[in-house]
Each structure stands twice: as structure tokens, then as C-alpha cells.
Amino acid sequence: MILRLAFRNLLRNRWRSLLTSGGVALAVAMMIWTVSFLDGWMGAMVRGSTALDSLQVQIERADYVEEPAIYRSFDVTPETLERLEGEAGVEAVSARVRLFGLLGDEQRSQVAQVIGVDPPREARATPVEEAVVQGRWLAVQEVNDGPGEVVLGDRLARQLEAEVGDELVVFLEAADGSLGNDVFEVVGVVRTGTSTIDRQAAYVHLERARYLGALEGQVHEVVIGAADLSQAPALAQRLSPVIEELVSEQEMAVRPWQEVLPSIAEMVELTGSSNAVMYLIIYLVASLGIMNTQRMSALERRREFGVLMAIGVSPRRLFWIVVLETVVLGVMGALLGVVLGASLSLYHASAGLDLAMFSPQSSFSYMGVSFSERIYTAVGLRTVVEPAVVMIVVSVLCGLWPATQSARVEIARAISGRS
């Protein structure tokens, strides 16, 4: 009976019911889209920070983490990389040699970071090949005769005034203390939006870098791309015993991106706290609107409540009628909001949100992180369910006070319209 009366009252006041449920739907839809957009933004920021350099998990010697030195390397075989690629949650693996030296010609020179990579593996693990703006990426197989191939960061190329086809010489101290030098031909230029790479990086073939640095069969780091960014710490923990088994000669460090880039992890945590405050404000504004609507509804219906109590409806039953009306309005509004918010979020998850209006370039930087002009929303079960559940609870809480006031009306004064 209580439920039937609640539905009858809602249908009798369609405009008021639509207004209240519409407010709930708008709040839920707004929260679903906002949360999915901010999750997508944060995911893009983390991917942008880790995609080209550290990736999601980084493996190095423990003493190299404390103080990088060219001789602090470790042995890596193709079988080791294949074993790591076969682990669950691993999308890509790339081994690197990092050398620091002087790169230039007879006219000018710059300090550069020579990064030795296996071109196919590096291209699978990072978007560096897609960032080539002049020339091409390193060939799959290096030609043994003649100069080696090098791909420069675009700012480094501008500083050296180097173009595709130019030859450059590199000088550096090798791991055995000797002076290493070699000649390279510029085959490409990359623009990544990551300042350290664009300003310093010079990509060469892994074997050439090993020869140059006297590091036969060794690397300084192995980086791993994870299928799920949030699972990087768990993946690093799972890979630690595997690395201990494969590389038993040295003490190794297997670190997720949160440890490699603590500033980014802190930024993500701080942004999450800021977002929580914004969510609270949205919920508060929505709850005030719902409470005001329910309160006005209760005031308008005091005569109706007086009549109901006069014909035998108890205050407790009247209280539950009003509460049930609020629950029904909250559920209806939440369901409509889920449909609207999820539909819009799923569309932007597929098509992306075009931010070109804020930048004429194909990418832009925010807090030192490069972004594409399109941000894709991240839609998950939590993103959709949490706002709906919260708004239903908020709706019920907002309806308790009007329901309590309605159950306390004085029958005679309410029917006469004097209260």
C-alpha cells in the first residue's frame, strides 16, 4: 500500500517528479563523465610520462639506481628478454645501453645521451618511431660497413644544425676506461614532447653502442611495458624473483614507474585529492537542489498529508511514503543519469575529446608532460556505478528531513491550510 501510494503521488505531480529526477540524472551524468574524463587525463599523463623513457617497470642494477655509471651494467641475452615477454601482464620489453659523451662535427658539438636500442623492440615498447618528424627510424639490421645510424632529438639536431644525411662523431669514456669514438650518419629526427629526449637523445643500434662503450653482451636497463598502468607495482613485485633467477651475479632493482618517477606519482595522488574536493562540491550542490525541491514539495502537500492522517494513515506510514517517493525519484534519476553519462563517456572513449581549440599543435604539454590533442575518457564499472549509488544515497538522506516534517503535521491546521 505504501509503495502504491508513493507511485500514485509521483504520477499525480509529474512536473515536480520530472524536475527532481532530472536533477539527479544531471548530477549522475555529470559525475560519470567528469570522473571518466579525469581518469583518462591522468592515464594519459602517466602514459606520456612513462611511454618513452622508463615505461611502467624498469630493471637496473641496484648500484646503478643509486649512482649511474657506465660500468654498472649487467648481462642480458635474447632468451632473457623472451622469458620476460612471456610473463603475464607484460606487453613489451626493450633493453638499452646509456652512454654520455660529446656529439658533433668540426663546427659545433653538444653533450648527448647516446641510447643503444634494438630498433624493433624499442618501436614496439615505445612510440618513438611514430615521433619521427624527419627521415626514418633506425633500420632493423645495421649495416656493418661505414658509419652507424643515429636518430636525434629535434632540439639536439637544431643545436648541432644537423640534417638527415649529415655525419657526426661521438667521443666518450668507455666502461674499461678507454676513449670510445665512432662516426654516425643522421637518418632521422624525433620530436617527442619530452624535453630530456628532444634535447639530449641520440638513438643508435644496441650492438653499436655496446661496442662503443666496451659493454659486450651487457645493458644498463631493461624497460617493460605493462598492460595495466595501475598494476605496475604488482608486476614489478612478481618479476623480482624472475630477475633474481635470470641475473644472479648482481643485486638488481625492479622498480615500477611510481618509484622511478616519484614526482609523477605524487602529482597523480595530489590531483586525485583535488578531484575528490571537486566531486564533493558537485554532490553538495546536487543535494541542496534535491533537498530544496523535496522541502517545497512537502510544504505544498501539507493539506494532503493532513487529509491522509485524518483518514487513518499513521505518521510512521506517512513518513515512509515520503521516503519511498524520494527513493523512487533517486533511482529513476540515477538510471537515466547512468544511461546519459555512460553513453557520452563511451563515445569520448572511442572518438576522444578534441582539445585542438586550446593548442594549434598536434600535441601540447601540461606540467612537463606531452599530450595528444585528443584525450580519451576511461570508463569502468566503478566510474559508472559509484556516482549512481552516491546520488541515490544522497537523495534518500535529503528526503529524510522533509519526511520527518511531514509526519509531524497537525491534522486540523494542515487541513485548514493554516500551517
- Binned at pLDDT 50, 70 and 90, residue 272 comes out as confident
Q: What is the mean pLDDT of residues 406-411?
A: 71
**Could you tell me if 225 and 91 lie in one domain?**
yes
Give the model's pLDDT for residue 63.
94
**Could you tell me if 361 and 227 lie in one domain?**
no
**Could you tell me if 41 and 72 lie in one domain?**
no
**Could you tell me if 196 and 341 lie in one domain?**
no
Q: Which of 208, 233, 260 is the last residue of a domain?
A: 260
Give the model's pLDDT for residue 112.
95
Q: How far is Cα 108 from Cα 128, in angstroms, rounded to an integer?
A: 26
**Could you tell me if 212 and 297 lie in one domain?**
no
Give the model's pLDDT for residue 393.
87
Give the model's pLDDT for residue 294.
73
Give the model's pLDDT for residue 336.
93
Q: How far is Cα 286 from Cα 298, in angstroms, rounded to an integer?
A: 18
Q: For residue 322, is pLDDT > 90? A: no
Which residue has 632493482 as its cell numbers?
Answer: 253
Give the model's pLDDT for residue 235.
94
**Mean pLDDT for the chain overall:** 85
Residues 6+ positions from 276 with CB-CB distance below 8 Å: none
Q: What is the mean pLDDT of residues 204-223?
A: 94
The predicted-structure confidence for 159-201, as pLDDT tens digits, reads as follows 999 999 999 999 999 999 899 999 999 999 999 878 889 999 9
Q: Which of 230, 260, 290 is the last residue of a domain?
A: 260
**Could you tell me if 297 and 361 lie in one domain?**
yes
Domain that holds residue 402: 2-49+264-416
- Binned at pLDDT 50, 70 and 90, residue 419 comes out as low
Task: Give me 13's grid cell.
Answer: 505531480
**Could you tell me if 72 and 213 lie in one domain?**
yes
**Could you tell me if 78 and 101 lie in one domain?**
yes
Q: For residue 378, is pLDDT > 80? A: yes
Share of the chain above pLDDT 90, in %: 45
**Could you tell me if 281 and 335 lie in one domain?**
yes
Higher pLDDT, 32 or 302: 32
- How many domains does one find in the chain? 2
Give the model's pLDDT for residue 266.
85
**Could you tell me if 338 and 214 lie in one domain?**
no
Q: For residue 365, is pLDDT > 70? A: no
**Could you tell me if 277 and 294 lie in one domain?**
yes
Q: What is the mean pLDDT of residues 225-239?
A: 89
pTM of whole model > 0.75? Answer: no
Residue 83: Cβ-neighbour burial (10 angstroms; 0-12, 13-18, 19+): middle
Q: Which of 218, 234, 260 is the last residue of a domain?
A: 260
Higher pLDDT, 216 or 291: 216
Task: Give me 43's grid cell.
Answer: 592515464
**Could you tell me if 127 and 146 lie in one domain?**
yes
The predicted-structure confidence for 39-53, as pLDDT tens digits, reads as follows 888 888 787 778 888
Residue 25: Cβ-neighbour burial (10 angstroms; 0-12, 13-18, 19+): buried
- Binned at pLDDT 50, 70 and 90, residue 363 comes out as low
Give the model's pLDDT for residue 296.
75
Q: What is the mean pLDDT of residues 215-231?
A: 90
Give the model's pLDDT for residue 74.
95
Q: How far is Cα 236 from Cα 83, in angstroms, rounded to an integer?
A: 15
C-alpha closest to that of 115 among 158, 52, 178, 61: 52
